[in-house]
Amino acid sequence: MKSISLANELAGNSYPGRGIVIGKSADGKYAVTAYFIMGRSENSRNRVFEPIDGGIRTVAADPAKLEDPHLIIYNAVLTLRETTVVTNGDQTDTIARFMNGNLFPGYSFEAALATRTYEDDAPNFTPRISGVVDMRRGGYKLSIVKSDEGNAESVQRQTFDYPQPVAGEGHFISTYVKNGAPIPSFTGEPLRVAIDTNDADKFADKLWASLNENNKVSLFVRSIELETGASFNHVPFDGAASALTAVLGGHVDAVTCSAAEAASNIASGELKVLAVANTERLEAYPDVPTFQEVGVDLTIVALRGLCVNKDPPDDVKKALCDGFEKVINSDACREKIEAANMTYMPLNAQETNDILDSMSGNFEKIINAYLNSAN
């Protein structure tokens, strides 16, 4: 089935209620999540999105006009480690509680929603729609909990799993099919929609413009870079010793350093190695994957070498190179390096320069990412 234009779909629908869109950007590098609110009554329209740590919540635009908060004031988006949760009600907190508690691993989303039913706003019995996004790989799930065509005695729960989404596509689910009295609940599978841009702002503008002018209330759009799936605060240290002290004391969450510098803390169980930035796994930690293996395009080799002035005399340069190569190719040097949990990789001058040149792009990527986050 070919993906459809979400803008065209919404432009012809005056009241789909609340809606969730999740998918991948056109280039496949970003997970895209959107949530919009529409309202017909004054109480339903009296709300706006307010940023909170890792997400948003709904609040009354005018507290003096707030009539009944229990279905319109809630956390709409939360970030849980590597997962974004988005819903149209307080089931956001239910999902967060199950996931944070690691209840029913792999099925926390479904298990959490098994404890909830549709909203108690008869005769509409507004469905609860929910979504979760893997912020590293981009896979996602959508769910709807609704009544059986308005029958309050029967609840229906449906979950749709998209573990391998396609670039440039997503899925859309809403609370209602269209306006009515009572309002008919969404039916069938989520709509397969096109996400034909990499620009979150353009996607948001197009989505907002397609919603009915008289009924639209608020819109939230999040774009998540899938290479890492997270944003980081960079904390500089003078060296590995002070950085390791900070992570051991719980002052920072993670640190990058050489395996040799953290070897004693790893051996004692105080620290856990998540991944190595080497081209291959380390012999000392054969079960620890490289960054490349977990989907992060980053390789950094910590080199130890001998440097001299830019243009030494040829005879001095030759004597140093010959002597240094003799040392690094010796069994004693190899044993000492491997005993320190470092990778033994003897290189001559030209090979060293070639590796440094190939690594420059990685350092440029890291520096630019830090400068962008600092701005």
What are the structure tokens assigned to 51, written together? Answer: 């940023």
**Same domain assignment for residues 212 and 305:** no
**Same domain assignment for residues 147 and 281:** no
**Same domain assignment for residues 204 and 321:** no
Sheet of 19-24, strands arranged across: 191-194, 169-174, 19-24, 30-38, 216-225
**Same domain assignment for residues 80 and 197:** yes
**Same domain assignment for residues 220 and 295:** no
**Same domain assignment for residues 185 and 115:** yes
**Same domain assignment for residues 161 and 56:** yes
Give a yes or no: residue 84 inside a domain: yes
d(CA 304, CA 238): 19
**Same domain assignment for residues 17 and 160:** yes
Give a yes or no: residue 307 inside a domain: yes
**Residues 6+ positions from 308 with CB-CB distance below 8 Å:** 316, 317, 320
**Same domain assignment for residues 184 and 294:** no
Give a yes or no: residue 188 inside a domain: yes
**Which contacts qualify for 246-252: CB closer than 8 Å, 24 or more apart?**
247/271
The residue from 198, 225, 252 where one domain ends is: 225
d(CA 77, CA 130): 10
Give a yes or no: residue 178 inside a domain: yes
User: What pLDDT does residue 373 have?
Assistant: 47
**Same domain assignment for residues 76 and 179:** yes
What are the structure tokens assigned to 369, written together? Answer: 């990412």
d(CA 4, CA 136): 26
Q: What is the domain range of residue 370? A: 273-374
Residue 95 neighbours by CB distance under 10 Å: 26
- For the entire predicted model, the pTM comes to 0.63
What are the structure tokens assigned to 101, written together? Answer: 């508690």
What are the structure tokens assigned to 285, written together? Answer: 């930690």
Q: How many domains does the chain have?
A: 2
d(CA 206, CA 15): 17
**Same domain assignment for residues 91 and 200:** yes
Give a yes or no: residue 251 inside a domain: no
User: What pLDDT does residue 375 have?
Assistant: 46
Give a yes or no: residue 281 inside a domain: yes
Give a yes or no: residue 360 inside a domain: yes
User: What pLDDT does residue 279 have?
Assistant: 78
User: What pLDDT does residue 178 have?
Assistant: 94
**Same domain assignment for residues 304 and 199:** no
Q: What is the separation, in whole angstroms, between the first and last Cα of the chain?
A: 43
CA atoms within 13 A on the CB side of 368: 6
Give a yes or no: residue 264 inside a domain: no
- In SS3 terms, the chain reads as CCCECHHHHHHCCCCCCCEEEEEECCCCCEEEEEEEEECCCHHHHCCEEEEECCEEEEECCCHHHCCCCCCCCCEEEEEECCEEEEECCCHHHHHHHHHHCCCCCCCHHHHHHCCCCCCCCCCCCCCEEEEEEECCCCCEEEEEEEEECCEEEEEEEEEEEECCCCCCEEEEEECECCCCCCCCECCCCCEEEECCCCCHHHHHHHHHHHCCCCCEEEEEEEEEECCCCCCCCCCCCCCHHHHHHHHHCCCCCCCCCCHHHHHHHHHCCCCCCCCECCCCCCCCCCCCCECCCCCCCCCCCCCCCCCCCCCCCHHHHHHHHHHHHHHHCCHHHHHHHHHCCCCCCCCCHHHHHHHHHHHHHHHHHHHHHHHHHHC
pLDDT tens digits for the chain (375 residues)? 789 999 999 999 999 999 999 999 999 999 999 999 999 988 888 888 888 888 899 999 888 888 888 888 999 999 998 899 999 999 999 999 999 988 888 899 999 999 999 999 999 999 999 999 998 889 999 999 999 999 999 999 999 999 999 999 999 999 999 999 899 999 999 999 999 998 888 899 899 999 999 999 999 999 888 866 544 444 556 678 878 887 888 767 788 888 888 889 999 999 999 998 887 888 888 999 988 888 777 777 667 777 887 788 888 888 888 888 888 889 888 888 777 767 777 888 778 777 777 666 656 655 555 555 444
Give me the CATH number covering residue 201: 3.60.20.20
d(CA 357, CA 8): 49
